[in-house]
Amino acid sequence: MPDGAARTSAFLPYGRQSIDEADIEAVAEALRADFLTTGPMVDRFEAVFAETVGAPFAVACSNGTTALHLAVAALDVGPGDICVVPSITFVATANVCAMQGAQVVFADVDPSTGLMTEETLADALARANGDVRVVLPVHLAGNACDLAAIGAMADRWGCSVVEDACHAVGTTTPDGPVGSTRRSDAACFSFHPVKTLTTGEGGMVTTRDAALYARMRRLRSHGLVREGFDCSPGPWWYEQTELGWNYRLPDILCALGVSQLKRLPAFVAQRRRLAARYAEQFAALAPLVRIPPATEGVDPALHLLAARIDFAALGTTRAAFMEQLRRRGVGSQVHYIPVHRQPYWVERSRTPTLPGADAWYAQTLSLPLFPAMTEADVDRVCEAVADCIEGKVLAA
Ligand SMILES: Cc1ncc(COP(=O)(O)O)c(C=O)c1O
């Protein structure tokens, strides 16, 4: 179905990719060209992405997880090091630190936004018993953390900052677009289908640091170096200088990325329009339903409409609420279960109670938000939510 056409009666998932004929043609063209894997579209996607977010360097890679892994590996994170990760995120943010043998200290979040703050970072740093190497703020749902404050604190502690910007392409901050890395060492993006831009699977790291950039490029391809030898025996020569991985993003998917980037301004404008409509409609339902406030100076390109619903005050459960929404044609999802409560992490992190993360988790529910939605679709979701609130949740 073409974007935006006759969606009103269809089931509304919480997120959905937008692929148009130009995207399909871009992929078809790449399939007809000489390179399926590493070819000209990789360089093109990196160049256009870097320009879009205002960073000098960008490294395309196979997904958001490998983007995060390249960044922490290139910063030399290893056994004995500590990384600080907010508990409200996708597990990947913490997992890449463990993949490098580092220990994770989970930070609490502001319960009204789900974001790590200067205060919750300070608390995590005080709990860390050793050398904190990297702090990984997560720009949850597309709302950005206060990187000026977080970056300043990381500087005082002598640690690097890697932004998990998987949700936040298109978001602007007082320092420019997310990804410009003016307050961090690197920013990592995901192009999974529910994200604002998609390449199916895909990721990108941006940075201002030329050495970090060179190392991430090397690590993306098995740690191989192909140029700069004094006595190369011939043009076939390469050397493996360290252990890396195959984290490359194929030309076909980069072609889709270049095409999607042309549509980014329209995606962002539509997401902002829809989010504004949600805010308008939900104002009448406060304080039972609230939209998290944007961080001061930030203009979010929301990837998720992560509403906060006071299920306890309504005398219901989130599961019952989600089921009633589903019956009314409205999909929803939960972002996220606090990572420190995952079985893998409980023993390994021995995290104390994080009241902000627990409070966020208790009330969060992501409602449909994707570019093909119309304002009438938003109204339909809001009516379904209002229906549930008016006591129909348990009765139906
Ligand atoms: C906050 C966050 N970090 C990291 C990732 C990992 O990205 P990917 O699924 O592309 O590996 C995701 C993806 O869902 C995410 O939402």
Distance from residue 212's CA to the centre of ligand 1 (Å): 21
Quote the CA–CA distance of 46 and 211 in Å, as a whole number. 17
State residue 326 phi and psi, 5-degree precision: -60, -40
In the numeric block, which tokens belong to residue 96?
């890449």
Contacts of 366 (CB under 8 A, 6+ apart): 14, 15, 141, 304, 305, 306, 307, 332, 333, 334, 335
Measured in Å, residue 43 CA sits from the centre of ligand 1 at 23
Q: Is the CB of 81 under 6 A from ligand 1?
A: no
Q: What is the model's pTM?
A: 0.96
pLDDT of residue 135: 98
392 catalytic residue (yes or no): no
Q: State the closest ligand 1 atom to the C-alpha of 201, by its place in the atom list counted from 1.
A: 10
Tokens 């929803």 -> residue = 332
- Residue 9's pLDDT is 65
Cβ count near 231 (within 10 Å): 5
Which of 166, 154, 226 is closest to 197 using CA atoms?
166
Residue 203 CB less than 6 A away from ligand 1? yes
pLDDT at 82: 98
Beta strands in the chain (DSSP E): 57-61, 81-86, 103-107, 131-135, 160-164, 172-173, 176-177, 186-190, 203-207, 224-225, 239-240, 289-290, 305-309, 364-367
* Whole-number Å distance between alpha carbons of 261 and 47: 11
pLDDT in tens, the chain (396 residues): 344 444 446 899 999 999 999 999 999 999 999 999 899 999 999 999 999 999 999 999 999 999 999 999 999 999 999 999 999 999 999 999 999 999 999 999 999 999 999 999 999 999 998 889 999 999 999 999 999 999 999 999 999 999 999 999 999 999 999 999 999 999 999 999 999 999 999 999 999 999 999 999 999 999 999 888 888 888 899 999 999 999 999 999 999 999 999 999 999 999 999 999 999 999 999 999 999 999 999 999 999 999 999 999 999 999 999 999 999 999 999 999 999 999 999 999 999 999 999 999 999 999 999 999 999 999 999 999 999 998 655 444
Task: Classify 86 as helix, strand or coil.
Answer: strand
Q: What is the pLDDT of residue 275?
A: 98
Hey, what are 284's tokens? Answer: 């009448």
Q: What is the pLDDT of residue 207?
A: 98
Closest ligand 1 atom, CA of 190?
Answer: 10
Beta pairing class for 289-290 and 176-177: unpaired
Question: Which residues on adjacent β-strands are paired with residue 160?
Answer: 134
Say how far apart CA 351 and CA 341 lie, in whole Å.
9
Q: What is the pLDDT of residue 114?
A: 98
Peptide bond into 247 cis (omega under 30): no
Q: What is the 3-state secondary structure (H, E, C) of 312-342?
A: CCCCCCHHHHHHHHHHCCECCECCCCCHHHC
Question: Which residue has 């943010």 as its token pair?
Answer: 93
Ligand 1 contact via 69 beta carbon (within 6 Å): no
Exactly one of 195, 217, 271, 380 is catalytic; which is it?
A: 195
Distance (Å, rounded) from C-alpha 265 to C-alpha 112? 28
Residue with token string 């329009």: 273
Residue type, 126: A
Residue 64: CB within 6 Å of ligand 1? yes
196 Cβ below 6 A of ligand 1: no
If you search the block for the tokens 């404008």, which residue do you land on? 269
Q: Which of 218, 176, 155 is nearest to 227 (CA)?
A: 218
Q: Is residue 113 in contact with ligand 1, taking CB distance under 6 Å?
A: no
Q: Considering only CA atoms, which of 96, 89, 186, 80 is closest in space to residue 132?
A: 80
Given ligand 1 and candidates 91, 190, 334, which is best to mutate, with the most ligand atoms within 8 Å of its CB?
190
Task: Give the span between the Cα atoms of 190 and 194, in whole angstroms.
Answer: 10
Q: What is the pLDDT of residue 228?
A: 85
